Amino acid sequence: MRLSIRHKLFLALFAATTLVVAVMYAFMHWSFQHGFVSFLENRQQAYAERLAGQLAEVYAADGNWDGILGDRVRWWRLMADARGMHAPGMGMGPGHRMGGGMGGGMGGGPRGLDGGLALLDADKHVLAGRAADAGDLALTPVRVDDRVVGYVGRVAGRPLSELVDVRFADAQRRAFLVIAVLVGALAVALAWPLANTLVRPLRRVTAATRALAAGHYDTRVPVRSSDELGDLGRDFNDLAQALERTESARRDWMADISHELRTPISLLKAELEAMQDGVRAMTPTALAGLQADVDRLGRVVEDLYQLSMTDLGAMSYHKRPVDPLALLEDDAEALAGEFERKGLGLAVRAELAQPVTLHADPDRLSQLFRNLMQNSLRYTDAGGRLEIVAGVAGGRLRLDFDDSPPGVPEAALGRLFERFYRVEGSRNRAHGGAGLGLAICRNIVEAHGGLIEARPSRLGGLGIRVELPLAP
């Protein structure tokens, strides 16, 4: 039989409550028995001591115990006085004589009056009260002129001798049992709704998880508490939101990839069909155009491959001590011709007190530097320039790539490192590129434990700041 978590919680709560009630009942019963018995024993001892005092006065007046032996009422009166009770049969005169003597002792009085008390002589023979072996009695001496003339004995270990005491103890036991049963019933009545209350948020999360698995990424669960169940609900909502963003990004990714590949393929197809139909002659210029379209398609495919490698962490990094400034100057010199042909200036300036070293992959750093320089080369207006300033701050190498207009709206700066994101609203690729270069740059920088951010350039265009940790 499969038990739901609700049933398990109910059984756990009920079992725990039942155990607590049972332990409390046992403890209360033991405590009552121990305390009540101690109280009764102390009371019996107090009775015995008062009776011993009264018997000492009787002995001092009579000089022996004959007055007690021959007068049962007198014995009852003394015990009643010791107990603070009114003994029945007090109206009987003193001439009422008792049968029996030393051997059997005086018989017990009315039910419950003697309370287990007895009078013993100096030799510990029972004279009055219930006959019992002196060895079973707790003895209180009766002293007259510092001489022990007898003993008041009480039965030890039998304090519940009076009917009222027995009834009181029984009533308390029944009350404890009734309380235990009522508490158990209350526990059952409360455990089930409490289990339902605790399980209800889990049911909501379960239902939402199934909806999420079915592709409903807009599913959310209401969170009404700040405990662990509330944390679970918030974590689920965060997960659902992340999956929703991922699904949206996946759809955008597929649409962008389709567009990026379809555009150069469409151009190639149109050019080839024109040549086949004789509309366009197969000249070196036409072939050069086809080659440019193939190169553009190849760049898109290569960028997609590089980006997927960095996303998956599969791009190989062979890190070693590297002089980043020398690497940057080599890359700038390699691209200087392209900057010059477009009419752009390129300058590298180092503000370093001493040479610095990075623990990095030189090939990936070169890819990073060239992507950033080609981004400026592609979008900077003719007649502009790119300035690269290297410095050190807080144990990091700081590289600032600042180009001249056009700039980037401040609202778009935070999205520049998203794949396929371009500032212009259309999908026109007149400037070249597929919008993947900066996304690749971000992955390379993060793989080296660095930071990259976009900001307005001091030259009026776009500024990119890269920070990389120095080698220890």
Digit-coded pLDDT (tens) for 73-125: 888 888 788 777 654 444 434 434 333 333 344 444 444 445 568 888 888 88
Q: Among 164, 181, 215, give the residue marking a domain's end.
A: 164
399 beta partners:
390, 466
Do 432 and 464 share a domain, yes or no?
yes
Contacts of 359 (CB under 8 A, 6+ apart): 319, 320, 321, 322, 471, 472
Do 13 and 139 share a domain, yes or no?
yes
Do 341 and 303 share a domain, yes or no?
no
Tokens coding 321:
């001590």
What are the CA-CA distances from residue 321 to residues 333, 362, 440 (Å)? 22, 9, 22
Q: What is the largest CA-CA distance in the chain?
A: 160
Which CATH number is 271's domain given? 1.10.287.130
Q: pLDDT for 327-375, tens place per residue? A: 999 999 999 999 999 999 999 999 988 899 999 989 889 989 998 998 8
Q: Whole-model pTM above 0.75?
A: no
Q: Among 312, 344, 373, give the residue marking a domain's end.
A: 312
CA distance 407 to 413: 10
Handedness of CA 458, 459, 462, 464 (dihedral sign): negative
Q: Among 113, 135, 164, give the residue marking a domain's end.
A: 164
Which CATH number is 347's domain given? 3.30.565.10
Query: Which of 199, 231, 180, 174 has its CA nearest to residue 3?
Result: 199
How many domains is the chain built from?
A: 3
Q: Would 406 be classed as within a structural domain? A: yes
φ and ψ of 344, to 5 deg = -115, 145
Q: Mind listing the pLDDT tens digit of every residue in the chain (472 residues)? A: 566 666 777 777 778 877 887 887 788 777 776 777 777 778 788 888 888 888 888 888 888 888 788 777 888 888 788 777 654 444 434 434 333 333 344 444 444 445 568 888 888 888 887 655 556 678 889 999 889 989 988 876 555 455 556 677 777 778 878 887 888 788 777 777 777 777 778 888 888 899 988 888 888 988 887 778 788 888 988 998 888 887 887 787 677 677 667 767 877 888 888 888 888 788 888 788 788 778 777 767 776 776 666 655 545 678 899 999 999 999 999 999 999 999 999 999 999 888 999 999 898 899 899 989 988 998 899 999 999 999 999 899 999 999 999 988 888 888 888 766 666 533 334 454 556 778 888 888 988 899 999 999 999 999 999 999 998 8
Domain membership of residue 28 as a residue range: 5-164
Q: Would 397 be classed as within a structural domain? A: yes
Q: Would 339 be classed as within a structural domain? A: yes
Q: Would 63 be classed as within a structural domain? A: yes
Q: Would 175 be classed as within a structural domain? A: no
Query: Which of 122, 115, 161, 162 has its CA nearest to residue 139?
Result: 122
